[in-house]
Amino acid sequence: MRKLIIAIDGPAASGKSTAARLFAKRLRYAYIDTGAMYRACALAAKEAGIDMSDESALDALMDSISISIKHDSDENKIYLNGKDVSAAIRKPEISGLASGVSAHATVRNKMVDLQREMGAQGGVVLDGRDIGTVVFPDADLKFFFVAPARVRAQRRFDELIMRGEDPSFEDVLNDMIARDEADSSRTLAPLVPAEDSIHIDTGALNIEEMIDLLYAHYLKKVQAK
Ligand code: CDP
């Protein structure tokens, strides 16, 4: 059976990463976390002391860094210049910086090329903001996740607490709303649902129900072929 390209897009903390990882595991597909790639770019810019609005410095940076993803048992590990930065990119500060760098063409072009290379053979689940609209507009199956802002903020808050951070819920909520707004209103590859995407409200579903629902759509797709 031909292996599909599956896109999952949606706003911050809408459950994309968890669903994409587990769904890929169920299908024995690869999982590509494109948000982690933009986070790694932001970390690289921060370490180099580059301002997120300095296009020419970002351009030079993009020529000099390497970003790769390795699938390590259940986890995706992300490497920046050969160094494992999987934990460092999850810091709250990096979320905002990632949204800043990801608005630049120089950054997006390099990341989109890499993502297309990684997904070209099929057998992949990619999650992000522009997978179904820009990276793989011909993806076989496109999902767009939604959930109320407070539900998403609670998820991110719990995640940060688990990682040993000490955030305030209001800060998490406000940062998330600001980032969604920036991601949705930017000129390049804004966060918008692809016309042919299947909308899934993840607020009311537990993870098992979510994977079963995605799988039901997958079966419908492969049986129709
Ligand atoms: O985990 P969370 O949903 O909070 O964010 P993420 O998926 O790790 O993405 C971090 C940031 O990278 C987003 O706020 C976007 O600005 C950017 N991003 C993007 O522009 N395009 C993608 N395909 C994925 C992420």
Establish whether residue 98 lines the binding site of ligand 1, counting it when its CB lies within 6 angstroms of any ligand atom. yes
| CATH code of the domain containing 164 | 3.40.50.300
CA dihedral 71, 163, 18, 113 (to 10 degrees): -50
| 1 belongs to a structural domain | no
* pLDDT at position 2: 80
Is the separation of the CB atoms in 123 and 177 below 8 Å? no
| 76 belongs to a structural domain | yes
| 224 belongs to a structural domain | no
* pLDDT at position 74: 74
Residue 14: domain span: 8-215
Establish whether residue 183 lines the binding site of ligand 1, counting it when its CB lies within 6 angstroms of any ligand atom. yes
Establish whether residue 95 lines the binding site of ligand 1, counting it when its CB lies within 6 angstroms of any ligand atom. yes
| 3 belongs to a structural domain | no
Establish whether residue 197 lines the binding site of ligand 1, counting it when its CB lies within 6 angstroms of any ligand atom. no
User: Which three-class secondary structure state does DSSP give residue 96?
Assistant: helix
pLDDT digits (tens, 9 = 90+) for 105-119: 999 999 999 999 999
* pLDDT at position 71: 82
Closest-CA residue, ligand 1 atom 23, reads 128
Closest-CA residue, ligand 1 atom 13, reads 99
Q: Go through the chain and tell me how many residues it has.
A: 225
Global pTM reads 0.96
Query: Which parts of the chain register pLDDT below 50?
Result: none
| Count of the separate structural domains present in the chain | 1
Closest-CA residue, ligand 1 atom 8, reads 35
